[in-house]
Homo-oligomer: A and B are copies of this chain.
Amino acid sequence: MQDKLQELNERLARFLDLTGVNGVLQWDQETYMPSGGAQARADQMATIEELRHRIVTDEAIGRLLDELAPYEAELDYDSDEAAMIRVARREYEKRVRVPADLVAEIQRTASLGGVVWQQARAENDWAKFEPLLAKMVDLKTQWAECFAPYDNIYDPLLDDYEPGITYDQINAVFQGLKPHLVALVEQIRERQDAVDDSVLRREYDEQTQYDLGREMVEKLGYDFNRGRIDTSEHPFTIGFGLYDVRITTRADRYYLPSSLMSTIHEGGHAIYEQNVAPHFYRTVLGTGASMSIHESQSRFYENIIGRSRPFWAYWFPRVQEAFPHLADVDLETFYRALNKSEPSLIRIDADEVTYGLHIILRFELENDLFNGRVKVEDLPREWNERMGEYLGVVPETDAQGVLQDIHWSQGYFGYFPDYLLGSIFSVQLWDAMRQDIPDVTAQIERGEFEGVTGWLTEKVHRHGVKYTLPELAERATGQPLTWEPYMAYLSEKFGEIYGLK
């Protein structure tokens, strides 16, 4: 049986090599590729995608999985071998249901979609985007129907990014959280003048920002022998196995947190990937587990660590040294500025409190869209109405509203909720970490991050793809996924900053 498992792993290693290859191609496309290279790149990526699909849906893999089933049943669920077979089966069974030409058509539409979306947003022209989006919704509906029967057609879409969790489960969490978030946003709005973030909007040399970001993520545990930082229009992390995990960032000369916080955010993703157990390299377990778990790491480093007082107790003097014009600012002013909360139109600029409502809006809208309660043509109106309802702000243009995110142009429906699930889980991790490391706050104040990253590696990173979010929540924190600690964290942090109650 070990021979069969080895054969399975060898076949899948080639699939994983191609996943890495597509990663390199994408990284290059976003960083260094000359503009003329776009067509050739699309051809290369389509070919790789087709070969990947063919390798993983080869009937030999199905046969090996069948032969391994009795062996798997005898293995401990938590063993590496059981997890390898389980995850391989999940990938195989998912991909084998979808016809290759539908995969190719989605890929082609997504390539075109990126370009059309970019133009439509730049020109604030919803009509230009609508037909493409309608086509993508249709294709992804066909894709989801490959997984019938289901309770909700949105389930297979969600499952593609977050295995083992359904609409009903996510909805229960989000509906529990939503009224509390809306109430907190309202309370903060009444105390809007309590925080002034003008200090962050002075002039900050870009290169110095980049240098500081490097220093911070290196200190947090990012290994530059197995990574690098470049600039790109939208920051991202991409890993080709744990030995090469790269991040990108982008500085705003007149808004300090833009580059620093995105570097820490992407650094969180990258530290996770770099700390997957090395013996998982080139196996299906050798990467991050899911989008939510990934976001739990990036948002842990960005928000729980990176927007905390202890973190800046250590770093603010260094930032003042790098930017001497900050000499007149004290730590408390800086900390409060960095945590200013205010309803805004654009998700990626949202603070910790309002962020969740941006996500819930998209989650509900996607569910309504795929269940036929909202039509593609109604999306701009629905978007604006719900923004007014949840956040009290209404976009004046579609570019600032329904057109703001790239996701739908790529067919990434069911992806958004993972941002909030990750945020929620990150607080459960933080609570568990503080129990295990009572002086963790003092460590952070001293600029010592080995405790934090070591704990996360032990509980989360090293396991790679082994566990789903519900499984990992139980194993890492002893609790199921639950929103209450997240809301308590927000209430406490922002209650203190804004002097609520």
Contact = CB atoms under 8 A, between A and B. Distances in A.
A44 interface: yes
Interface string A220-252: 000111111010000000001101101000000
A139 interface: no
Given A24-B44, A44-B24, A240 B37 contact: yes
Contacts of A257: none
A21 interface: yes
Size range of the interface on A? 35 or more
A466 interface: no
Contact of A40 (B20, B43, B223): B20
Contact of A243 (B39, B47, B223, B228): B39
Contact of A225 (B13, B35, B44, B240): B35
B25 A47 contact: no
Contacts of A102: none
A70 interface: no
Interface stretch (A26-34, A57-65, A191-199): A26-34
Nearest to A246: B34
Chain copies in the assembly? 2
A34 B25 CA distance: 16
Contact of A244 (B37, B47, B51, B230): B37
Given A24-B25, A24-B28, A244 B36 contact: yes
A225 B38 CA distance: 11
A18 interface: yes
A253 interface: no
A47 B17 contact: yes
A153 to B, nearest CB: 34
A282 interface: yes
A94 interface: no
A14 interface: yes
A459 interface: no
A41 interface: yes
A165 interface: no
Nearest to A225: B36
30 contacts: A13-B47, A17-B43, A17-B44, A17-B46, A17-B48, A18-B44, A18-B47, A18-B48, A20-B40, A21-B21, A21-B44, A21-B47, A24-B25, A24-B44, A32-B32, A32-B230, A34-B226, A34-B244, A36-B223, A36-B225, A36-B226, A36-B227, A36-B244, A37-B240, A40-B240, A40-B243, A40-B244, A40-B281, A40-B282, A44-B240
